Structures are given as structure tokens and as C-alpha cells.
Structure 1
Amino acid sequence: MTSKDLLWKEIYNSIKREIVLNKYKINKKLDSEGEYAKQFNVNRHTIRRAFKELKNDNLIYSKRGLGVFVKTSKINYSISKNVRFTENILEENKSVRIEIKSFDIAECNLFEKKELNLNKKEKVTRINSIGYINNSPSVITFRSIPHDRFPKFINHFVKKQSVTKAFNLLNVKKIIRSKTLISAEISDKIKSNLLNIDVGKPLIKTTSINVDFNKTPIELSESYFDGSKIQILVKV
């Protein structure tokens, strides 16, 4: 391997690392060939060679006269009878973690009462969280869990960062998706800040009811997915 090969590969690996670690937003314009040439103290041909390999890896794309931009393939999020967000993303060979932004315990509202089949004034545990895929904020989720039946749910969810594992520890061995409504929304300022996207970008919204083996509702969730990163795959 020549020194020239080492140079372009070093630059290629450097830019690729920053893209994979989500240092850039999707569709973010990269520096020009000239700017990278100055940064790495090489000629433009070397930068062009690195860009070519990044395009072959489907990580960047170019617009004639405008420059080079970051490209990311979408992740399939499967909706089926089984509820497995963490496992679902891991199957896509992506890292996943959940950050709990807030939670509280309160009397159920009319929507929660209806969907979770609760009595008036029964309490729910409400949990607001962000799901990170490859360290990039990708989904906002608002959950409501029947508190009287599962008073310890939040404790297990904090430790396990998995709805399935939290319920398993509460003797719910199987969670079944009863129904999911899929719709679209435009991102407002709050959601845009949480997902690190521009205001007005499309979001995929899912509203789901999950039940236990006896078909008793145990979770109501509303999720907002970054439409530039995730696509919904419905399995029947």
C-alpha cells in the first residue's frame, strides 16, 4: 500500500467515523474539497478519492454545483403482534438506548381510561422517553401504564431500559400488540429540539395499545419517529 493510499483511507475513515457517530444531521452539507484539502494538508484528488469511497458506502451523495451531503439509509421498525422495540433495532445491527426524560403518577384522563379499560380516577404511570439509535435521537415516546396493577413498573423500566423486560419482571411473560394507529405529523419546536431535526420535518406517529396474555390492556403508547431515519414495516 502506497503512502497516497494511506492518506485517502485515513481521510475516508475520519469522515466516515463522524457520519456513523451522527456528528452530522442527515442532508447536512459537508465541507468542500478545498476545505478538506486544507484541513488534512493534501491535494483535492486525495479528497475526491475519499469521497468516492464514501459514496460507494452509501454514506454521502453529491448535488451538481451545490456540494456533497450526508446520506443515511432508513431503519425498518417492524410492527407486529410482538412488542420488542429494543430487540427490533438490535436486529438491524444498530445500538439502542432509552433516555427517560420525565415520569409522573396521576389520575387517568378520558383517553387513558378508555384505551386502558380503567375506572374513573384510577392512576397511571406516565413516562416520557427518547429512543436513541446509534446514539442519534430517533423516537419520542409517551407511555401510560396502569399504576395500581404495576406500581413498580418505572423502577424496572429505569434499570432494564426495555418494556418487555420490565413487564417480564412483573410476571407478564408475553406482551401482545392489540392495535396500532399510524399517522403523520409535522414536527413542532419541542419535538424538533428533542430529535435534533429542523422544525417542519415529517414525523411518523404511532398510537398503540398493548395487552397481556388475557387480552387485558397494560400499556398505551404514543410514539413520534424521525421520518428521515425510520420507516414502518407492518408484518401480517
Structure 2
Amino acid sequence: MTTKDLLWKEIYNSIKREIVLNKYKINKKLDSEGDYAKQFNVNRHTIRRAFKELKNDNLIYSKRGLGVFVKSSKISYSISKNVRFTENILEENKSARIEIKSFDIAECNLFEKKELDLKKNEKVTRINSIGYINNSPSVITFRSIPHKRFPKFINHFVKKQSVTKTFNLLNVKKIIRSKTLINAEISDKIKSNFLNIDVGKPLIKTTSINVDFNKKPIELSESYFDGSKIQILVKV
């Protein structure tokens, strides 16, 4: 590999890293070729070579006479019978983690009672969490778990940070998504703060019921995805 190849690849990797880590907002104008040439102490041809690869990666686009801009690179989040947030994101070559914001144990409301097939006043474990993709807050999830059947769910979930792994520890070896409703919603102040977006931005809301092998409901979840980062892919 020549010195020139090393130079443009180093610049390409540097700019790509900043885009992937969301240091630039979507449609943000990047510095000019001249600015980058001065920054990296190279000629403009080397910068153009790095830009070309970034365009091939679908990370930037150019407007004639205006410059180069960061492109929306939405992640496809698959909805299928299998329920795995982390694995879903890893398939997109992105990092994923879950942060628990709060949890409590309370009597089920009418919606939880119906969807989880519970008795009146039966308790649920409610968990509010944020899903991060490449360290960027991307989805808020509100979960309800039947507490009587899974009294230790939150203990394991705090350690494992994974619904699938937690249920596996509780002898549910296979989780099946029974149904999912998809809606659009406008972000309010609370959700905007969690997702670090402006109030009024579009969110994709999914309401899902997950069941065990015997088709017994084990989880009700309502998730709010940042519509600027994620698109829903329904697998049938």
C-alpha cells in the first residue's frame, strides 16, 4: 500500500468515525475540500478520494456549488417472530446497548390485563429503558412483565441488559413475537429529552406482545424509535 493510499484512508476513517458517532447532524454541511486539505496537510485530490469512498458508503452526498453534506443513513430494524434488539442492531454492523432508566412493581392496568392475559389487580414489573445504537439514544421502550410468573425478572435484566438472555435464565428458551402494531407519533418534551431530538420530531411507535412456546403472553412492550435514524422492516 502506497503512502498516498494510507493518507486518504486515514482521512476517510477519521471523517467516517465522526459521522457514525453522530458528531454531525443529518444534512449538516461538512468542511470544504480546502479546509480538510489544510487540516490534514494534504492536497485536495487526497480529500476528494476520501469523499468518494464516503459517498460509496452512502454516508455523504454533494450539492453542485454548495458542498458536501451528511446523508441520512437509517438503520433497518427488523420485526419478525424472533425478538432480539441487540442482535438486530449488530446485523447492521452497529453497536447496541440498553440503559435502564426506571422500574417498579405495580398492579396491572386494563391494557396490561388484557394484553398479558392477567387477573384483575395482578402485578406487573414495569421497566423503562433507552436503547443506544453506536452510543446514540435511538429508542425508548416501556415494558410490562407478569410479576407473579417472573418475580426475579428485573434482577436478571439489570445484570444481563438483554430481554432474551433474561428470559433464557428464567427457563423461557424461545420468545415469539405474537403481534406488533406500528404507528407514527410526534415527540413530546420528555421523549425528546431522552432521545436528544427536537420536540415535534416524528417517532415510530411499536406496540408488541411476546409469548412463550405455549403462546402464553410474557411481555408487553411499547417502543418509540427516532424516525430520523431508524426504519422498520417487517419480515413475513
For the 8 Å contact 1:192–1:198, the answer to whether it is kept is yes
For the 8 Å contact 1:37–1:43, the answer to whether it is kept is yes
Question: Which deviations, in whole Å up to 9, do the C-alpha atoms of 1:24-53 show, x marking residues without a partner?
Answer: 233322223343334334444443332222
**1:201/1:154 Cα in 2 relative to 1: closer, same or farther (>3 Å)?**
same
- Please say which of residues 107-116 and 140-149 is displaced more in the overlay: 107-116
Question: Which deviations, in whole Å up to 9, do the C-alpha atoms of 1:166-225 show, x marking residues without a partner?
Answer: 111111122111111011112223222322333332211100111122222111100111
**1:194/1:69 Cα in 2 relative to 1: closer, same or farther (>3 Å)?**
farther
Equivalents in 1 of 2:47, 2:197: separation in Å? 28
Equivalents in 2 of 1:126, 1:116: separation in Å? 13
Alignment length (residue pairs): 236
Question: Which deviations, in whole Å up to 9, do the C-alpha atoms of 1:138-189 show, x marking residues without a partner?
Answer: 2111101111221110111111111111111111122111111011112223
TM-score, normalisation: structure 2: 0.89
1:234 Cα deviation from its structure 2 partner: 1.5
Equivalents in 2 of 1:78, 1:95: separation in Å? 16
Equivalents in 2 of 1:235, 1:8: separation in Å? 39
Equivalents in 2 of 1:50, 1:174: separation in Å? 45
**1:233/1:23 Cα in 2 relative to 1: closer, same or farther (>3 Å)?**
same
**1:183/1:29 Cα in 2 relative to 1: closer, same or farther (>3 Å)?**
same
1:5 Cα deviation from its structure 2 partner: 4.6
**1:34/1:198 Cα in 2 relative to 1: closer, same or farther (>3 Å)?**
farther
For the 8 Å contact 1:96–1:132, the answer to whether it is kept is yes
Question: Which deviations, in whole Å up to 9, do the C-alpha atoms of 1:111-139 show, x marking residues without a partner?
Answer: 11221122222211111111112222221
1:72 Cα deviation from its structure 2 partner: 4.3
- Please say which of residues 204-213 and 113-122 is displaced more in the overlay: 113-122
Equivalents in 2 of 1:2, 1:176: separation in Å? 52
Q: Percent identity?
A: 94
For the 8 Å contact 1:176–1:210, the answer to whether it is kept is yes
- SS of the equivalent of 2:185 reads strand
**1:89/1:2 Cα in 2 relative to 1: closer, same or farther (>3 Å)?**
closer
For the 8 Å contact 1:78–1:88, the answer to whether it is kept is yes
Question: Structure 2 stretches of 5 or more lacking a match?
Answer: none
- SS of the equivalent of 1:172 reads coil
Equivalents in 2 of 1:172, 1:26: separation in Å? 41
1:74 Cα deviation from its structure 2 partner: 2.4
Pairing 1:44-59 to 2, within 5 Å after superposition = 44-59=44-59
Equivalents in 2 of 1:41, 1:54: separation in Å? 19
Equivalents in 2 of 1:219, 1:95: separation in Å? 24
RMSD: 2.1
Asked whether 1:2 is paired with 2:38, we answer: no
- Please say which of residues 160-169 and 39-48 is displaced more in the overlay: 39-48
Equivalents in 1 of 2:119, 2:55: separation in Å? 57
For the 8 Å contact 1:25–1:197, the answer to whether it is kept is no
Equivalents in 2 of 1:196, 1:59: separation in Å? 21
- SS of the equivalent of 1:158 reads helix
TM-score, normalisation: structure 1: 0.89
